[in-house]
C-alpha cells in the first residue's frame, strides 16, 4: 500500500515548507496511507493505559467496554468530517480556522494547538520510559529497581531524534514510516492479545473491586469520566490534526472511502488497545504500564519492547509535524523543517524535567487531558462555519491573504465570542481529577462529566447565530479586479 503522490518531490517540499494549499497535481490518489497514519498514531501504550482507567476508577469490565466502544464510534465519526475538510480544501486545520476566527484572531487557537503538540510529544515520550526500563530489566540490561536517570534520558533522546528526523522529511516520510512499521507492530499486538485473552486469567465477568462495586449515580459518573477520557473525548482530540494530513489526498478520491479509511484507522487500534488494557487490569486493578505489561508479558519482552518504542514515534511524528504547521499559521516566518527541530528541543527539555519530577508529570498529564476539551469548542465552531457559513464552498485563496486583507476580518468577534462561551461551558460541566478542573455543574450532578458535549454545543449554537452576521460584510467584498472569488467545490 502506498500514500505517496506521483509528482516531483521538490514540488511537495516547497509547498510544505511555506504552508501553501496542496495543489491537486501533488496529491495522492491512494487512501491506504491515511489508514496507516491514523492506525500507527494510536497503537501506543497510552491507549492501553487509558483502557485500564475504567477498571481503576471502579467500573466493571462490561461498563468500561461499552463506554470505550460506543464513545469512540461517536467521536471517530465526527473526526471523519474534519478529514474531509482537509481533502476538499488542501489546507491545514489551523489555516482553515482563519475564516472563523479572523486573520489575527486565529492566532489564539493556533498557539494553543502548538503548545499542546509540545506537551503531548513530551508526555508520549515520557510515559513509556518506566516501561522500557522494566523491559530492559527483563533482558538483564538495567536494574529495574534503580532510578536509571541516564538510561531514561538516553532512550528519550534516541526516540526524539528519530521523531524529529521523520517529521523533518515531511508527509511522504511520515506516510512511509507508518505504512511499513504498523503491520509488524499489529502482529506483535495480535500475539499480546492472544496471550492475554487465551492464556492469562482474565476475569471476563469482572464487575468492580470486591466490596466496592459502583452503582447508580456513582457508576454513571465514572462512565461519563471514562467517556471524556477515552470515548468520545479521544476522537475529539484529533479534530485539529485531521486536515493536516488529509490535505494530501486527491479530491478524485471518493469521500466515503477516505472517511472510512481514516475513521477505521483511528477506531480499530484505540478500541483494541483499550480492551486489552481493560482486560489486563481485571487481574490487579492497575493502570501502571509496567505492571500491566511486564508482569503479564515478561517472556515476550523483546517484541513488546519494539511495540512500546514504536508507539511514541508513530504518534509524535504527527505532533511534531502539526506543531510546525500550527506555528506557521501564527505568521512566524520560519521553514517547517526548522520548526520541527525546535519542537524536538523543547519537548526533550520537558521530558528531562518529567524524569526528575515524576509526580508533577502525572499532574501535567491530567492537565493536558483536561485542556484538550478546548478542541470540542473549536470543533463546534468549525463545523458550523464550514456547513452553515461557507456552505461547504470554502474560498481557500483568501485564507492566505496577508494580515490586513479586506476579505477576512482581522479578529472575528463572532468566532471568539463563541469560543470563550464554549470554554466556560466546558469548565462548568467538567469533572477532572484535580479540583481546578471540577466545574460547579459537574460537582452538583455528582461528578457527571459532560464537558465535551457542553463545550461543543454551546460554541456551535453561539456561532450558528453570530457567524453569518459577522461573515456577511466580508462575503460582499469583491475579489481583486472584480473577478469572483474562486471556491473549492470538489
- Determine which of 27-41, 311-325, 347-361 has the lowest per-residue pLDDT on average: 347-361
Angstrom distance (rounded) from CA 159 to CA 181: 15
Whether 431 shows a pLDDT value over 90: the answer reads no
pLDDT in tens, 172-198: 899 999 999 999 999 988 988 888 888
pLDDT of residue 236: 87
pLDDT of residue 430: 87
Give yes or no for a contact between 353 and 125, defined as CB atoms under 8 angstroms apart: no
Which residues, at least 6 apart from 186, have a Cβ–Cβ distance to it below 8 Å? 39, 43
Name the domain count of the chain. Answer: 1
pLDDT of residue 96: 95
3-class SS of residue 23: coil
- Domain annotation covers residue 486: no
Give yes or no for a contact between 182 and 333, defined as CB atoms under 8 angstroms apart: no
How large a percentage of the chain has pLDDT more than 90? 47
- Domain annotation covers residue 1: no
Which range of residues forms the domain containing residue 394? Answer: 9-474
Give the domain CATH number at 402: 1.10.4160.10
Query: Mean pLDDT across the chain, nearest whole number?
Result: 84
Give yes or no for a contact between 383 and 97, defined as CB atoms under 8 angstroms apart: no
pLDDT of residue 365: 52
pLDDT of residue 459: 97
- Domain annotation covers residue 83: yes
Nearest to 102 by CA among 383, 389, 403: 403
Q: Which residue has the higher pLDDT, 165 or 284?
A: 165
- Domain annotation covers residue 489: no
User: Rounded to whole angstroms, what are the CA distances from 488 to 55, 87, 91, 251, 401?
Assistant: 47, 10, 11, 10, 16
Angstrom distance (rounded) from CA 221 to CA 18: 46
3-class SS of residue 53: helix
Q: Which residue has the higher pLDDT, 217 or 37?
A: 37
- Domain annotation covers residue 4: no
3-class SS of residue 136: helix
Q: Cα-flanking dihedrals φ and ψ of residue 409, to 5°? A: -70, 145
- Domain annotation covers residue 260: yes
pLDDT of residue 417: 97
pLDDT of residue 371: 67
Angstrom distance (rounded) from CA 467 to CA 417: 10
pLDDT of residue 152: 92
Residue 7, Cβ neighbours under 10 Å: how many? 12
pLDDT of residue 2: 41
Half-sphere CA count of 94, side-chain side, radius 13 A: 26
Q: Which residue has the higher pLDDT, 69 or 392?
A: 69
Give yes or no for a contact between 164 and 174, defined as CB atoms under 8 angstroms apart: no
- Domain annotation covers residue 136: yes
Whether 147 shows a pLDDT value over 90: the answer reads no
- Residue with cell string 481557500: 396
Chain-centre distance of CA 267, in angstroms? 12
Question: What does the pLDDT average to over 133-162?
Answer: 88
Question: Which of 443-469 are b and which e, b meaning 16 or more Cβ less than 10 Å from the residue's Cβ?
Answer: eebebbbbbbbbbbbbbbbbbbebbee
Nearest to 418 by CA among 53, 63, 59, 102: 102
Give yes or no for a contact between 230 and 238, defined as CB atoms under 8 angstroms apart: no
- Domain annotation covers residue 341: yes
Residue 476 — very low, low, confident or very high, per pLDDT cuts 50/70/90? low
pLDDT in tens, 121-139: 988 888 888 788 888 887 8
With the C-alpha atoms ordered 100, 104, 107, 108, is the resulting torsion angle positive or negative? negative
Whether 343 shows a pLDDT value over 90: the answer reads yes
Question: Which of 417-435 are b and which e, b meaning 16 or more Cβ less than 10 Å from the residue's Cβ?
Answer: bbbebbbbbbbbbbbbbee
Residue 355 — very low, low, confident or very high, per pLDDT cuts 50/70/90? confident
Whether 8 shows a pLDDT value over 70: the answer reads no
Give yes or no for a contact between 187 and 413, defined as CB atoms under 8 angstroms apart: no
Which residues, at least 6 apart from 224, have a Cβ–Cβ distance to it below 8 Å? 431, 447, 448, 449, 450
pLDDT of residue 384: 97
How large a percentage of the chain has pLDDT more than 70? 86
pLDDT in tens, 362-408: 555 565 556 667 899 999 999 999 999 998 888 899 999 999 999 99
Cα angle vertex 352, ends 349, 353, to 5°?
A: 90
- Determine which of 1-5, 245-249, 303-307, 316-320 has the lowest per-residue pLDDT on average: 1-5
Question: What does the pLDDT average to over 255-283?
Answer: 92
Angstrom distance (rounded) from CA 69 to CA 207: 18
Whole-model pTM: value is 0.87
Q: Cα-flanking dihedrals φ and ψ of residue 90, to 5°? A: 75, 15
Amino acid at each position: 500500500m502506498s500514500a505517496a503522490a506521483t509528482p516531483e518531490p521538490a514540488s511537495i517540499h516547497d509547498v510544505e515548507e511555506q504552508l501553501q494549499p496542496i495543489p491537486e497535481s501533488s496529491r495522492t490518489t491512494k487512501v491506504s496511507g491515511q489508514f496507516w497514519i491514523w492506525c500507527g498514531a494510536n497503537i501506543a501504550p497510552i491507549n492501553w493505559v487509558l483502557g485500564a482507567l475504567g477498571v481503576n476508577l471502579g467500573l466493571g469490565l462490561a461498563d468500561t467496554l461499552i463506554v470505550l466502544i460506543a464513545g469512540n464510534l461517536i467521536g471517530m465519526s465526527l473526526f471523519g468530517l474534519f478529514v474531509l475538510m482537509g481533502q476538499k480544501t488542501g489546507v491545514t486545520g489551523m489555516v482553515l480556522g482563519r475564516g472563523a476566527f479572523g486573520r489575527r484572531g486565529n492566532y489564539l487557537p493556533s498557539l494553543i494547538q502548538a503548545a499542546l503538540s509540545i506537551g503531548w510529544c513530551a508526555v508520549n515520550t515520557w510515559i513509556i520510559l518506566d516501561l522500557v526500563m522494566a523491559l530492559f530489566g527483563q533482558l538483564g540490561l538495567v536494574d529495574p529497581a534503580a532510578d536509571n536517570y541516564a538510561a531514561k534520558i538516553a532512550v528519550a533522546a534516541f526516540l526524539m531524534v528519530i521523531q524529529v528526523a521523520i517529521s523533518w522529511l515531511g508527509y511522504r516520510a511520515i506516510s512511509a514510516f507508518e505504512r511499513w512499521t504498523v503491520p509488524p507492530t499489529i502482529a506483535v499486538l495480535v500475539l499480546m492479545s492472544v496471550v492475554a485473552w487465551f492464556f492469562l486469567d482474565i476475569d471476563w465477568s469482572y464487575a468492580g473491586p470486591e466490596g466496592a462495586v459502583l452503582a447508580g449515580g456513582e457508576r454513571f459518573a465514572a462512565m461519563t469520566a471514562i467517556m471524556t477520557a477515552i470515548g468520545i473525548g479521544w476522537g475529539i482530540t484529533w479534530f485539529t490534526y485531521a486536515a493536516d494530513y488529509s490535505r494530501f489526498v486527491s479530491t478524485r478520491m471518493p469521500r466515503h472511502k477516505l472517511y472510512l479509511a481514516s475513521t477505521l484507522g483511528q477506531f480499530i487500534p484505540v478500541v483494541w488497545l483499550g480492551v486489552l488494557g481493560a482486560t489486563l487490569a481485571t487481574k490487579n486493578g492497575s493502570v501502571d504500564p509496567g505492571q500491566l505489561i511486564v508482569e503479564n508479558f515478561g517472556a515476550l519482552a523483546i517484541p513488546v519492547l519494539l511495540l512500546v518504542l514504536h508507539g511514541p514515534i508513530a504518534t509524535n511524528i504527527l505532533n511534531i509535524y502539526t506543531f510546525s504547521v500550527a506555528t506557521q499559521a501564527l505568521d512566524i516566518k520560519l521553514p517547517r523543517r526548522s520548526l520541527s527541530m525546535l519542537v524536538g528541543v523543547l519537548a526533550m527539555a520537558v521530558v528531562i524535567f518529567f524524569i526528575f519530577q515524576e509526580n508533577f508529570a502525572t499532574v501535567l498529564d491530567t492537565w493536558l487531558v483536561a485542556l484538550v476539551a478546548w478542541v470540542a469548542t473549536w470543533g463546534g465552531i468549525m463545523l458550523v462555519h464550514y456547513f452553515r457559513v461557507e456552505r461547504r464552498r470554502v474560498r481557500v485563496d483568501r485564507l492566505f491573504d496577508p494580515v490586513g486583507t479586506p476579505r477576512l476580518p482581522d479578529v472575528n468577534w463572532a468566532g471568539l465570542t463563541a469560543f470563550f462561551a464554549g470554554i466556560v461551558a466546558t469548565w462548568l460541566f467538567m469533572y477532572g481529577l484535580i479540583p481546578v478542573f471540577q466545574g460547579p455543574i459537574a460537582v452538583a450532578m455528582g461528578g457527571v462529566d459532560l464537558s465535551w458535549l457542553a463545550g461543543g454545543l454551546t460554541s456551535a449554537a453561539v456561532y450558528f447565530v453570530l457567524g453569518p452576521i459577522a461573515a456577511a460584510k466580508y462575503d460582499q467584498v469583491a475579489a481583486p479586479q472584480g473577478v469572483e472569488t474562486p471556491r473549492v467545490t470538489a
